[in-house]
Structure 1
Amino acid sequence: MRALILNCSLKKSPERSNTQLLADIVATELRNHDVTVDTVRIVDHTIAPGVQTDLGDPTDYWPTIHGQLLESEILIIATPTWLGRPSSVAQRVLERMDAMLSETGDDDRPVAYDRVAGVVVTGNEDGAHHVISEVSGALVDVGYTIPGQAWVYWNMGPGPGPNYTDTDHGHDWAEQTAGLMGRNLHRVASALNRGPRRAGD
């Protein structure tokens, strides 16, 4: 089984990403269940705007990511909170995933069916629940299954404050919830992998 983490941080590698650090806890839990985990930091690549999988632009990295999506039973969108909303990078990812609505597999069902997804959110301001709702809703539209407690967040509450790496505030809860998220994603993905519904069922 494979999982793909799309880190929608605004920071390019090798700059430290708070969002990646929390996503890594989910990744560790998945690896404990023999899941192969790949991570893509979106801003390290050129992702053109649009709502098609292949725009015919040789510099556009999205078709490669799309291929990774189709190879993965588990997807995690990891995003910081800015102005109470998902990052602009996360929004671009979701817009490009819109094309998957009309893509079907060999069973004539949308390609995202029988795949699960979850959300990781960090921010030194509030708004995490709103971000989780926005991203989860978009993923459901595309066709992903969202298990219960398939999200984790860390923030400092209302107003500006330190980053995840600057304080131990809330880390115990976030890390415990991240582990639970990983287990829930694996369990539901395993169930769908054992007995996915097919067209006409």
Structure 2
Amino acid sequence: MPLNDLQKRLADDANSDFSGLRALFLNTTLKPSDRAASHTEDLMRDSIALMERCGVAVDYLRAADFNIAFGIAPDMREEGAPADDWPEKIWPKVNQADILVIGTPIWLGEESSICRVIIERLYAHSGQRNAKNQYIYYGKVGGTIITGNEDGIKHVAKTVLYSLQHIGYTIPPQADCGWIGEAGPGPSYGDETGEGNRAGYDSAFTRRNLTFMTFNLMHMARMLRDAGGLPDHGNQTTDWA
């Protein structure tokens, strides 16, 4: 769903300076890049395009392209896993990002299994501290993008966004967006239809929600960065040592 004229104008006329912010889009599709295209990535790319047009530095990763061990330790090799790409290839980009957007397809009404692994690995770092002795994710912003051909966007968003806020991410208003087709077999987001169109590209609802989500994430990240993060009164871990 390439950016339309309104989205381009909103990006070009933004009265906030989003330069200096960094975002990570982490796609938890079950398909590695060399196996198939990702419908979730297709929708995520629209939000990425908006952020980049606004001057945000963006990284994109497809989790299935990496060997990410399951577990709740920062480095699962120390827990016996034979391999783990998380510490060197994923975590540094998570740690650097002001904005984290998790993308997931819907399977049986739930987020993907890889999405659960990513949430658990994020949780593994939740006891670490930032420079203000707050939990490590304080001052960072989170959102989610969801695709599928069954109902479940709000349910999956609830799960993902709750998990992110629980470990310390700030969740702005309407920090989720998604697209679903008709229930049952049929085209997924971005698939060509019998009429020669691409499924979902004509959804004004999805385009609007994606735009709101993207700007809300950038606005909140800018506010937090300019304020030096969240105030540290009453939430320093050292008070409870």
The yes-or-no answer on 1:156 pairing with 2:188 is no
Question: What is the rounded CA distance, in whole Å, between the counterparts of 2:212 and 2:178 in structure 1?
Answer: 12
Q: Are 2:99 and 2:217, in contact at CA under 8 Å, matched by a contact in 1?
A: yes
Q: Which has the higher contact order (CA 8 A, sep 6+)?
A: 1
Which residue in 1 is equivalent to 2:99?
Answer: 74
Return the match for 1:7 from 27, 45, 50.
27
Q: What does residue range 88-99 of structure 1 map to in structure 2 within 5 Å?
A: 88-99=113-124
Q: Are 1:102 and 1:110, in contact at CA under 8 Å, matched by a contact in 2?
A: yes
Larger Rg: 2
SS of 2:24's partner is strand
Q: Which runs of 4+ in 1 moved over 6 A?
A: none
Which residue in 2 is equivalent to 1:199?
Answer: 232
Q: Which range moved further: 125-134 or 97-106?
A: 97-106
Question: What is the rounded CA distance, in whole Å, between the counterparts of 2:177 and 2:158 in structure 1?
Answer: 12
The yes-or-no answer on 1:50 pairing with 2:71 is yes
Aligned-pair distance for 1:158? 3.3
Which residue in 2 is equivalent to 1:190?
Answer: 222
SS of 2:143's partner is strand
Q: Which range moved further: 125-134 or 48-57?
A: 48-57
Question: What is the rounded CA distance, in whole Å, between the counterparts of 2:231 and 2:171 in structure 1?
Answer: 19
The yes-or-no answer on 1:61 pairing with 2:85 is yes
Question: What is the rounded CA distance, in whole Å, between the counterparts of 2:128 and 2:48 in structure 1?
Answer: 28
User: TM-score when scaled to structure 2?
Assistant: 0.79
Which residue in 2 is equivalent to 1:131?
Answer: 156
Aligned-pair distance for 1:58? 6.9
RMSD of equivalent CA atoms: 1.5
Question: Where does the alignment leave 5 or more consecutive residues of structure 1 unmatched?
Answer: none
Aligned-pair distance for 1:168? 3.1
Question: What is the rounded CA distance, in whole Å, between the counterparts of 1:80 and 1:121 in structure 2?
Answer: 6
Q: Are 1:150 and 1:184, in contact at CA under 8 Å, matched by a contact in 2?
A: yes
Q: Are 1:22 and 1:175, in contact at CA under 8 Å, matched by a contact in 2?
A: no
Question: What is the rounded CA distance, in whole Å, between the counterparts of 1:149 and 1:8 in structure 2?
Answer: 21
